[in-house]
Chain A
Amino acid sequence: MTRDEKSRIPEILRKHEPELLKDWVQRQLAAAGGRPGQLSEAALREEASRFLSALREAVVGGQFRDIAGPAWSGVREVLGEISRDRAQHGFSPTETAMFVFSFKEALFARLRRELAADADALADETWAATTLLDRLGLYTIEIHQKSREEVIGRQQQEMLELSTPVVELWQGVLGLPLIGTLDSARTQIVMESLLQRIVETGATIAVIDITGVPTVDTLVAQHLLKTVAAARLMGADCIISGIRPQIAQTIVHLGVDLQNVITKATLADAFAIALQRTGFAVQRLPHRA
């Protein structure tokens, strides 16, 4: 079967579309019988009918092998939409692909009935149909995977934004509690949000608390120093606090130079220095002492 033009599939699809649709939807519903609540029959029927009409138009061109071609753009669009939708609703790749694969059964049954007299033609048509539907099925899996990856990417981005809050500890004093590993992408975000807050609040001191940073290697230290340098260019001094004993040892062993940065063991110490520098003092009220 090299000449797709001779295929009778386009004709069969055109003639028997309603029956194929009905048969197919019924089979899908039967297959999904054990899992209620996933998709309503009406939604399934609507998706199936959109796919079928797109498919019917696409096969007219006779290009069965090239589903990336322009003739198949309609089908690709419909399938893309369906698999994205399913990916977002938590369907597994198998369930998504089965949407296409399950059409085989309906189509083959129809082919067998139409071509009962000609065994050769039946075999050829079945082969053509199966390769085509396999490709379409794999395409849905690809789209499914892609949209899952998009979801993951978006979540990562959201987590990144959530994980770097800049808080105002006092008038003119910003706090930057860092939690988790500090890589270059995160440093960038930390830096940007810190500098933005410096502009907004006019802060002169920022306390970077690294209690929640599990390890400080040379790269992390470099990132920290970059942030400190950028803040200084905006006229704000940085204090690094929350240095655990273990981290202090690592820093010294690695030969990281933190001479030019004020470092404190705890956030409280850093805050005290920050207050002193901004000209504030905290006092215990006499009658409570």
Chain B
Amino acid sequence: MERIPILKMGEFVLVSIQVDMHDQLAMTLQDDLTAQIVRSRAKGVLIDISALEIVDSFIGRMLGNIASMARVLDAETVVVGMRPAVAITLVELGMALPGVKTALNVERGMELLRATLGTPVETGRAPAESPNGHPQN
């Protein structure tokens, strides 16, 4: 059965979705990811969806669910690399993913995770006064 690889990197877990998500795959990812967060005591989850061209409401809800589950397990989730067309589709579907943090690419996402978790930022950029999460969080 095909699975989406989940990589552990320090106190973060990385997921890069490189194939078309179908519903079963999404459910498997949910199982694997929650298990991995618990096993590795991860503090942050980074989901890269830059290869995802098509989303439906199910995938949108899954992203929201994963973020909520991770939060319950005390880990922050950042979704990165969303394509413009995907963003528009999700908004039109009425799924603005209010509880999910977002960033433009993996690099920014890592920065955001580090900033959120209070880990010193390693890159040369000046740290932003407030993290690039969205205002209500």
Sample 24 A-B pairs with CB under 8 A, ordered by A number.
A192-B84, A196-B84, A198-B104, A199-B104, A204-B128, A226-B91, A230-B87, A230-B88, A230-B91, A230-B96, A232-B134, A233-B87, A233-B90, A233-B96, A234-B82, A234-B87, A235-B132, A237-B132, A260-B134, A276-B129, A277-B128, A277-B129, A278-B128, A279-B127
Chain B contacts for A198, CB-based, 8 A = 84, 104
Q: Let me know if A176 is at the binding interface, CB within 8 A.
A: no
Q: Let me know if A195 is at the binding interface, CB within 8 A.
A: yes
For window 74-92 of chain B, which residues contact chain A by CB distance below 8 Å? Answer: 79-80, 82-84, 86-88, 90-92
| Residues of B that sit less than 8 Å from A by CB | 79-80, 82-84, 86-88, 90-92, 96-98, 102-105, 108-109, 112, 125-130, 132, 134-136
Closest B residue, CB atoms, query A188: B88
Nearest-neighbour CB distance to chain A for B97, whole angstroms, equals: 6
Indicate the size class of the contact surface on chain A.
20 to 34
Nearest-neighbour CB distance to chain A for B104, whole angstroms, equals: 4
Q: Let me know if A39 is at the binding interface, CB within 8 A.
A: no
Q: Let me know if A272 is at the binding interface, CB within 8 A.
A: no
Bound-complex Cα distance A226 to B87 (A): 10
Q: Please give me the 4 A-B residue pairs with the lowest Cβ-Cβ distance, nearest first.
A: A195-B84, A279-B126, A229-B96, A235-B103
Bound-complex Cα distance A260 to B136 (A): 6
For window 146-184 of chain A, which residues contact chain B by CB distance below 8 Å? Answer: none
Given contacts A202-B104, A233-B90, contact A261 B135 (CB under 8 A): yes
Bound-complex Cα distance A92 to B56 (A): 50
Nearest-neighbour CB distance to chain A for B114, whole angstroms, equals: 15
Task: Tell whether, in the assembled complex, residue A235 and residue B108 are in contact, meaning their CB atoms are under 8 Å apart.
Answer: yes
Chain A contacts for B103, CB-based, 8 A = 235
Main secondary structure of the interface of B (DSSP, over half): loop
Task: Tell whether, in the assembled complex, residue B102 and residue A232 are in contact, meaning their CB atoms are under 8 Å apart.
Answer: yes
Chain B contacts for A231, CB-based, 8 A = 87
Bound-complex Cα distance A72 to B135 (A): 66
| Residues of A that sit less than 8 Å from B by CB | 188, 191-192, 195-196, 198-199, 202, 204, 226, 229-237, 259-262, 276-279
Chain A contacts for B125, CB-based, 8 A = 279
Bound-complex Cα distance A236 to B98 (A): 14
Closest B residue, CB atoms, query A277: B128
Nearest-neighbour CB distance to chain A for B126, whole angstroms, equals: 4
Nearest-neighbour CB distance to chain B for A231, whole angstroms, equals: 8
Bound-complex Cα distance A232 to B104 (A): 9
Closest A residue, CB atoms, query B127: A279
Task: Tell whether, in the assembled complex, residue A235 and residue B80 are in contact, meaning their CB atoms are under 8 Å apart.
Answer: yes
Q: Which listed residue (A192, A204, A259, A276) contacts B88, Cβ 8 A? A: A192
Chain A contacts for B90, CB-based, 8 A = 230, 233
Q: Which listed residue (A235, A260, A262) contacts B104, Cβ 8 A? A: A235
